[in-house]
Homo-oligomer: A and B are copies of this chain.
Amino acid sequence: MPRYTAPTQDVQFLLHEVLKIADRDIPGYSELDSEFTSAVLEEAGKIASQVLQPLNSVGDQGGCKYENGVVTTPTGFKDAFEQMKDGGWPGLDMPEEFGGQNMPYLMGTAVGEFFSAANQAFTMYQGLTHGAASAILAHGTDAQKATYLPNMVSCAWTGTMNLTEPHCGTDLGLMRTKAEPQEDGSYKITGQKIFISAGDHDLADNVIHLVLAKIPGGPEGIKGVSLFIVPKIMVDEDGALGTRNAVSVGKIEEKMGIHGNSTCVMNYDGATGYLLGQQHKGMRAMFTMMNEARLGVAMQGLAQAEAAYQNAVDYAKDRLQGRDVTGVKNPDGPADPLIVHPDIRRNLMAQKSFTEGARAFMLWGALLIDQSHRSNDAEAEGLISLLTPILKGFLTDKGYDMTVQAQQIYGGHGYIEEWGMSQFTRDARITMIYEGANGVQALDLVGRKLAQDGGKHVMGFFELVKSFCNEAGEISEGFKTQFIDPLKAASKDLQAAGMYFMQNGMKNPNHALAGSYDFMHLFGHVCLGLMWADIAKASQKALDSGTGDAAFYETKLATARYYMSRELPATALHLARIQSGADPVMALDPDAF
């Protein structure tokens, strides 16, 4: 059976030595001293490894059941959910006035990785609730906030997002679910929504659905979509639960993975709903959830890679097979452990350099969210808006790849469900799809975010890389050669790709769009290169000062060297693909496929 240990030391290093959160003038950050964050992380790590992780394969094998109109979650989920609630984890970064602990989003992200790594399917129940609560917090009336938030922040009630319909996912303008206004100001919601994660279950007393629907007579397409609060059980004016609303589960889906989460078809048969935000501005309100959800999914990609990696390392150290060609390492045993073999090392280094670099990228992204929300920093807001599709697309594509690599270390045992490695890949696979398939992330990046505000944010990113390189390049000639020069070269590839889009996308937008996926990956590599250079800088500084755990910092430097020499050169390939333009991609008639 797999195990999971929360990487608390790495998070502490990133928070305090790389991101240097104590130096940041962000409201709420002054409380985040090293002792405090360590206590929070250790406690979260315990819950993750002791409560959530043991239920991961239970959830996978047992799955959710739908019988007689009732959805039940796997054995043990309800108890574990109670423990999460008792610990106040769901409301960690929610406002105190609604029962939360008001910590920064950064801390929610840090512990969220642990929970997701230990049990993705389980953690989605509270993750979706968090997203729905955030949307109500941002767009709800005071009465709506008072009615729903206290119970959602505590997870006494959970939440969902209802976007997809059988015939439309990405193209929500095609939506058919309708919302008919009633005399009392409410709406009657009628339609079918599919792929509703945590759509119904036995973990909470109520489920608050956020549902996109069209009010008849509104604008065509996506501009006529509004967002509604539709409780599973009606809530009286005094906040007490009343009668059942006209929303029901059609079925739960059989999926490749995340079996512990109930993915429902939801039928709305004239269900009572309440407008959230403005009429026909539903997409704007939904994007509060979507952006948060995209970062949450990026985190899941990283989290599954980390969990799979830990178990791959265990197996590589434990399994005796073959001998080190440079000399026997385990003379008393019948063979050497797998980890002596260079190709096993290549595989493990790919995983290690990804998860640690991705964690830095993820926490930096969370910090930008805090800067944006807590400090009203428009620059940070623009930057995280640019980086969100990269975080989502790159971290989930790579995260999935890493689970596949980890599974490969196990050979045949990786393919047998008993060992648990298959679950990591099956669970991770959904992260490339939900909250906007990764092709849609690439489209968002190249079609919208690059040019946003006149290209200001991408220029800001290049400035940031440049000033980092200038400063860190001064550390030493060796440091510059090993870490800064590769980052500069990668950043240059990214700029050349952007230039190609500018020069050719005007003539034919397909020249940009055919390169969008490669651009997302190119950008992702530059971000991870920046992270590794920054990690190397912090590590070098610590070593130079002679403080702390030297082996830890030396390991960071070696891993950074690996990333620079083995992963970052991928930028040149992505650039070459982008610069080949649309013609090779678009040459064929649809009939020729």
Contact = CB atoms under 8 A, between A and B. Distances in A.
A426 B174 contact: no
Contact of A551 (B195, B255, B592): B592
A561 B587 contact: yes
B516 A342 contact: yes
A2 interface: no
A147 interface: no
A305 to B, nearest CB: 14
Contacts of A317: 590, 593
A517 B343 CA distance: 7
A169 B320 CA distance: 10
Nearest to A335: B171
A412 B433 contact: yes
B514 A342 contact: yes
A185 interface: no
Contact of A570 (B407, B565, B573, B580): B573
A429 B195 CA distance: 25
- Stoichiometry, copies per complex: 2
A577 B587 contact: no
A582 interface: yes
A188 interface: no
A416 B572 contact: no
A442 interface: yes
A345 interface: yes
A510 to B, nearest CB: 5
A502 to B, nearest CB: 16
Nearest to A426: B256
Contacts of A345: 514, 585-586, 588
A135 to B, nearest CB: 21
A408 B438 contact: yes
Contacts of A572: 572-573, 576
A528 B257 CA distance: 34
Contacts of A433: 408, 411-412, 414-415
A178 to B, nearest CB: 16
A584 B555 contact: no
Given A346-B585, A573-B573, A408 B566 contact: no
Interface in A554-593: 555, 558-559, 561-562, 564-566, 569-570, 572-573, 576-577, 580, 582-588, 590, 592-593
A298 interface: no
A327 to B, nearest CB: 11
A561 B580 CA distance: 10
Given A253-B416, A343-B442, A561-B583, 19 more contacts: A194-B412, A195-B412, A254-B417, A254-B418, A325-B509, A337-B590, A342-B582, A342-B585, A343-B513, A344-B439, A346-B585, A352-B593, A408-B437, A408-B439, A412-B433, A559-B588, A565-B584, A569-B576, A572-B573
30 contacts: A168-B321, A169-B321, A170-B322, A170-B411, A174-B321, A253-B416, A254-B418, A255-B415, A255-B422, A256-B416, A256-B417, A317-B593, A325-B447, A325-B510, A326-B508, A326-B509, A339-B593, A341-B443, A342-B586, A343-B514, A343-B516, A348-B593, A400-B404, A404-B429, A412-B434, A415-B433, A426-B426, A559-B588, A566-B580, A572-B576
